[in-house]
């Protein structure tokens, strides 16, 4: 068993135009002062990382690591959630998802996909240069608009969608394999990989690629009413990253899973700061320790009620309290009866 690393914090929801969230040094100091030991870094904001440069220059990557280490922090993983989303976009979402792409490829889905693929390959190389072994991303989606079958889905549509998704990801997975880095898909509504079954369907299409791994975030499973504890039993061998994010599901006679197009605060299912929702993190941290999870526990702050900075401060302490320092011996070793060789065991069994 392994003691989880942490606490870490995903910077995506904090980066902004006001101090201390508008520069790498300032945000590192802020995170360290709150007690975080690691930062999960988005890769689209050049104020924090030049992804292409990190991919092409080991010197730049080393300098970046050193700069972050000067605050007592490590990079937990790089994140390409937004670029990963653009690997596969159904035309219905083109205008909305163009916001994730540079102006040079907007209104050009083919060029946008090519840009996203290159971004992912840069992320593999940058992760290698930074000494990282896991990477956080989304799968993108060609089928999400069909997840509830009305009208009826044509025969073969889902299979065709997953075949195409796998075709797009295979060269990326191979590049990550070359770099010795796991691709950790965050299983998430809006992606074609949104639960265990869809992940298994994808895994089959990519021939059980060893780098097609998972970012575990239980908050999305509470909203789907999926057993997020048993999920760890099923997929622990593929879990390489972990978001500590809470949520709650409070259905009424007026709304349930789909939320009736309400704002997050008014939905039956909504995200909360760690400890404020319904996720049983005690069981989760125990399961991950039991299954020898070797990665980080990273807080992702998404709460429709609590202030972000309050949530961050509480989140650092919350993770610290939940990390289990694993034992190196069995609790009943004091009562060991000795022996252990064949003769001794046979005597106990009455066989000699």
What is the pLDDT tens value at each position of the chain, 352 positions in all?
899 999 999 999 999 999 999 999 999 999 999 999 999 999 999 999 999 999 999 999 999 999 999 999 999 999 999 999 999 999 999 999 999 999 999 999 999 999 999 999 999 999 999 999 999 999 999 999 999 989 999 999 999 999 999 999 999 999 999 999 999 999 999 999 999 999 999 999 999 999 999 999 999 999 999 999 999 999 999 999 999 999 999 999 999 998 999 999 999 999 999 999 999 999 999 999 999 999 999 999 999 999 999 999 999 999 999 999 998 877 766 667 666 788 888 888 899 7
The residue ranges of every structural domain in the chain are 5-348
**Angle subtended by helix axes 228-235 and 281-290, to nearest 10:** 10
Q: What's the confidence (pLDDT) of residue 334? A: 63
Q: The tokens of 41 are what?
A: 């870094």
C-beta atoms surrounding 190 within 10 Å = 14
pTM of the model: 0.95
Spatial distance between the Cα atoms of 186 and 342, rounded to a whole number of angstroms: 48
Q: The tokens of 50 are what?
A: 């030049």
**Which residues, 6 or more positions from 90, have their beta carbon under 8 angstroms from its beta carbon?**
141, 142, 143, 144, 145
Spatial distance between the Cα atoms of 275 and 305, rounded to a whole number of angstroms: 13
Q: Which of 163, 153, 169, 74 is nearest to 116 (CA)?
A: 169
**How long a stretch of residues is the chain?**
352
C-beta atoms surrounding 343 within 10 Å = 9
| φ, ψ (nearest 5 deg) of residue 87 | -65, -35
Q: What's the confidence (pLDDT) of residue 92? A: 96
Q: Would you say 274 and 321 are in contact if contact means Cβ atoms under 8 Å apart?
A: no
Spatial distance between the Cα atoms of 230 and 29, rounded to a whole number of angstroms: 38
Q: The tokens of 55 are what?
A: 């991919």
Spatial distance between the Cα atoms of 52 and 331, rounded to a whole number of angstroms: 50
**Which residues, 6 or more positions from 319, have their beta carbon under 8 angstroms from its beta carbon?**
6, 7, 8, 244, 274, 297, 299
β pairing state of 134-137 and 269-272: unpaired
CATH number of 5-348: 3.20.20.150
C-beta atoms surrounding 106 within 10 Å = 16
Q: The tokens of 223 are what?
A: 């909203």
CA distances from 337 to 3, 329, 340, 341, 348 (A): 29, 15, 9, 12, 11
CA distances from 257 to 26, 193, 222, 226, 280 (A): 39, 18, 10, 12, 20
Tokens 């869809």 belong to residue: 198
């Amino acid at each position: 068993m392994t003691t989880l690393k942490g606490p870490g914090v995903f910077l995506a929801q904090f980066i902004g135009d006001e101090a201390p969230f508008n520069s790498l040094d300032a945000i590192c100091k802020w995170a360290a002062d709150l007690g975080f030991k690691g930062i999960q870094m988005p890769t689209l904001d050049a104020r924090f990382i030049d992804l292409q440069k990190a991919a092409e220059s080991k010197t730049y990557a080393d300098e970046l690591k050193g700069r972050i280490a000067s605050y007592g922090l490590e990079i937990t993983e790089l994140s390409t959630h937004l670029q990963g989303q653009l690997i596969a976009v159904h035309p219905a979402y083109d205008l909305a998802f163009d916001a994730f792409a540079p102006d040079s490829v907007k209104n050009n889905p083919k060029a946008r996909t090519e840009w996203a693929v290159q971004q992912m390959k840069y992320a593999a190389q940058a992760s290698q240069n930074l000494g990282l072994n896991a990477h956080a991303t989304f799968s993108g989606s060609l089928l999400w608009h069909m997840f509830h079958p009305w009208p009826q889905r044509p025969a073969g549509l889902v299979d065709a969608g997953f075949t195409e998704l796998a075709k797009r990801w295979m060269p990326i997975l191979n590049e990550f394999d070359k770099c010795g880095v796991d691709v950790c898909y965050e299983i998430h509504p809006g992606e074609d990989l949104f639960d265990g079954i869809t992940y298994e369907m994808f895994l089959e299409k990519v021939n059980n690629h060893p780098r097609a791994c998972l970012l575990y975030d239980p908050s999305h499973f509470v909203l789907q009413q999926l057993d997020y504890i048993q999920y760890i039993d099923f997929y622990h061998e593929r879990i390489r990253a972990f978001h500590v994010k809470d949520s709650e599901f409070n259905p009424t006679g007026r709304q349930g899973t789909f939320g009736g197009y309400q704002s997050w605060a008014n939905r039956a299912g909504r995200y909360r700061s760690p400890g404020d929702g319904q996720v049983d993190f005690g069981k989760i941290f125990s399961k991950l320790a039991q299954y020898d999870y070797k990665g980080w526990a990273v807080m992702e702050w998404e709460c429709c009620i609590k202030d972000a900075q309050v949530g961050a401060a509480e989140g650092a302490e919350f993770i610290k309290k939940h990390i289990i320092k694993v034992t190196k011996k069995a609790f009943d070793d004091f009562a060991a009866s000795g022996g252990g060789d064949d003769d001794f065991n046979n005597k106990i069994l009455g066989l000699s």
